[in-house]
Amino acid sequence: MASDMNDYFNKKKSQSSGSNQKSSGGSGGGGGPQLPKLDFNLGGGKAGIVYFLVAVVLLLVLARPFTIIQEGERGILSTNGKYQDQALLPGLHFIVPVIQKVYVVDTKVRIINYATRVEANSGITSGIGSKPAITVLDKRGLPVTIELTVQYRLNSQFAAQTISNWGFSWEEKIITPVVRDVVRSVVGKYDAESLPQLRSQIAQEIDRDVRLSVSSLENTPADLQSVQLRQIGLPEKVKEQIERVQVAKQEVQRAEQQVARAKQEALRRAAEAEGVAQKARIEAQGIADAVTIEADAKAKANILIAKSLTKQLLELEQLKVQGKFNEALQVNTDAKIFLTPGGSTPNIWVDTKDVKKRTTAE
């Protein structure tokens, strides 16, 4: 093959020299500029080096002795079928072709939905998987359907050990079995009728037990983010019974509300009556107090008057009255005068002219 290449370059060289001679002859004898002569004649050693370099480049392109790990991924390096303990971090890594191989695993958060309606694409290649809802038996053996959403990720620190122990289908061997076992264990302790009322407690128990189960595995293969209880599916008979109980409770609550309203109305009326009675008592007490005050005032006044009435004052008042009678006798001479015993007032006189007319003066 090297000789063929040399013949090819020699032929090209002879053709180029012939054309140069023609061009120089046509120009009138070698006065013009001459083109530089290129030597394409490669010896056997040089051609071998070129071919070797070309072969190496082709080998590098085809064998790809390097790999690139993206963010959110880890590389599991396998050398002659044996996994390296430390996973490859994101970046460029060189490997030995044929002898070494890198398996890329995803360490981003992934989701599995355990639902009654499973989506057509039930795989988890896109980071979201779909599994059938978990059917369990309650305390009395009634079937109950539990729908969950589990968020988790591969523990990047022990990614190589997880793949070595569980294989690349580690999710099917760890997450799903653990979740199903925990749900059966937790829900099996309760009656179906009590599940809706204990929803929050059951969700906490499932989340706690799933975390403990996964973390107790060797090298903690998965980092559990959350376990969310989405729905509890009950048998139709249980649903009907719960509805009847709810209706009965609503009726009881309605009756209690009516009784409470009646009690409030009675209390309101009693309060109004008490207010009216209190008002009447206050008014009566006010009147009684006013009468008492007035009587006390009169009594005090009488006492003061009694204390002020001396013998001389009474005699003076008697003289004044007697003077008025005397004046009256001057007008009516037929009148008769009667004096009270002791000579105290009032004195009574009677007009004897007119028996029908009687006048009493104080």
**Residue range 307-351, pLDDT digits in tens:** 776 777 777 777 777 777 777 777 776 666 655 555 555 555 555
- In terms of phi and psi (left: phi > 0; alpha: psi -120 to 50; beta: otherwise), the region of 295 is alpha
| Burial class, 75, CB count within 10 angstroms (exposed 0-12 / middle 13-18 / buried 19+) | buried
Q: Check residue 154 and give its pLDDT.
A: 93
| Residue corresponding to tokens 């104080």 | 362
Domain 110-234 annotated CATH 3.30.479.30: yes
> In whole angstroms, what separates CA 75 from the centre of its chain?
39
- H/E stretch holding 131: strand 128-132
| pLDDT tens-place string over residues 40-94 | 455 556 777 887 787 777 776 676 788 899 998 999 999 888 888 888 999 998 8
126-151 in b/e burial notation, b at 16+ Cβ within 10 A? eeebbbebbebebeeeeebbbbbebe
Q: Check residue 308 and give its pLDDT.
A: 73
| Residue corresponding to tokens 């989340």 | 207
Q: Check residue 323 and give its pLDDT.
A: 76
Note whether 184 and 152 are within 8 A (CB).
Answer: no
CA distance 152 to 109: 6
Q: Check residue 346 and give its pLDDT.
A: 53
What are the extents of the domains in the chain?
Answer: 2-22+38-63, 66-106, 110-234, 237-308, 311-360
Q: Check residue 155 and give its pLDDT.
A: 92
Q: Check residue 235 and give its pLDDT.
A: 83
* Residues in the chain, pLDDT under 70: 1-45, 60-61, 63, 119-125, 309, 333-362
pTM of the model: 0.54
